[in-house]
Amino acid sequence: MTILSRRLVLSASAVVLLPSALRAQAQAWPTRQIRVIAPYPPGGGVDTVSRAFSEKVSARLGQTMVVDNQPGAGATIGAAALARSTPDGYTMMVGSLVDYSIAPFFHNNLSFDMARDFVPVLEIGNGTIGVLVTPSLPVKNVQELIALAKKEPGKLSYASSGVGGLIHLNYEMLKQMTGAEMTHVPYKGTSFFQADLYEGRVQVSIDNVLAHLPHIASGKVRCLAVTSKTRSPLLPEVPTMAEAGLPGFESATNYTLFVPKGTPGEVVAKLNAAGNEAVKDADFRERMLKLGIVTTGSTQPEAQAKMASEIKRWSDVIQKGNIKPS
């Protein structure tokens, strides 16, 4: 056999062995430290969820998981870092299906695409969003609110955290589904409009309920419905939007575990199993509920289907409303 022939045989053998070696590596995973990207600053909700979740999953996998905060640009810096990472199971991210459904419409020249570049491993949980009204507003439920807004278009004012944010898009979805027209008043964040909402200078917002819970309890603001599929343990007496007569209106702040596309299926399956065990952990569930997050867990196909539905939901709302960056 000539030297050239030997080289060709060896090269062919290497090609045959490569998939087997990769499978063996995936089956042995994890054998070293895992990096978990948190695309928001330390101390915030995503960071807190990332650390609590990593702690529980690490114990089940038998490997250290280190949270790497990469904040900025509406969580797109951290997401771009995930898209660039090697798909070997040693880099992952806790992020939001909603954030990355909205991002392409408000950030130019993104270097990643959620559907193309990420695999959603499992849904960790969702923050509860509620339809909030100032207590003096003469409505008792969502249908009465819609009727009032339609009777006098633009008279009611709606507070959001800014153009293109989830609170704003919640209003746009309500308007598109019902024809209820209000005057949108963008603020810099929830804390900036709370006093105005409670005192009636603005009348309505569809916001995460966590910051409002003590004020709902005291009567400073009323919650007419929650926008989750099922009732929230945070406000078990409050109906869902479907129960309030508006099926299909669903919205939540979302926490999902992602890995880069191309991560071996064996790794995704192991990570999904460990993640679902973590989500069921009583201590983790209690810690999340204190943050206003209801844990869910999911299979990987369920997370994949949720990603597709969220992309469609928010792209439809944004395009139909012709919403542009401010």
User: In whole angstroms, how far apart are CA 130 and each of 52, 203, 258?
Assistant: 25, 14, 27
Average of per-residue pLDDT across 102-128: 96
Q: Is the whole-model pTM more than 0.85?
A: yes
What's the pLDDT band for 238 if we cut at 50, 70, 90? Answer: very high
> Which tops the pLDDT comparison, 8 or 118?
118
Mean pLDDT for all residues in the chain: 94
Least confident window among 20-29, 98-107, 119-128, 137-146: 20-29
160 φ/ψ angles, rounded to the nearest 5 degrees: -135, 175
**pLDDT score recorded for residue 14:** 52
Positive/negative CA dihedral, 105, 111, 113, 119: negative
Is 63 in contact with 36 (CB distance < 8 Å)? no
Which domains are present in the chain? 32-126+253-320 (3.40.190.150), 129-226 (3.40.190.10)
Strands (E), the chain: 34-38, 65-69, 91-95, 118-127, 129-133, 157-160, 183-186, 204-208, 222-226, 253-260, 293-295
Using CA atoms, how far apart are residues 168 and 314, in angstroms rounded to an integer?
A: 11
> Parallel, antiparallel, or unpaired: how do β-strands 34-38 and 91-95 relate?
parallel
What's the pLDDT band for 325 if we cut at 50, 70, 90? Answer: confident
What's the pLDDT band for 6 if we cut at 50, 70, 90? Answer: low
**pLDDT score recorded for residue 17:** 45
- Rg of the chain on CA atoms, in Å: 23
**pLDDT score recorded for residue 162:** 94
Percent of the chain topping pLDDT 90: 90
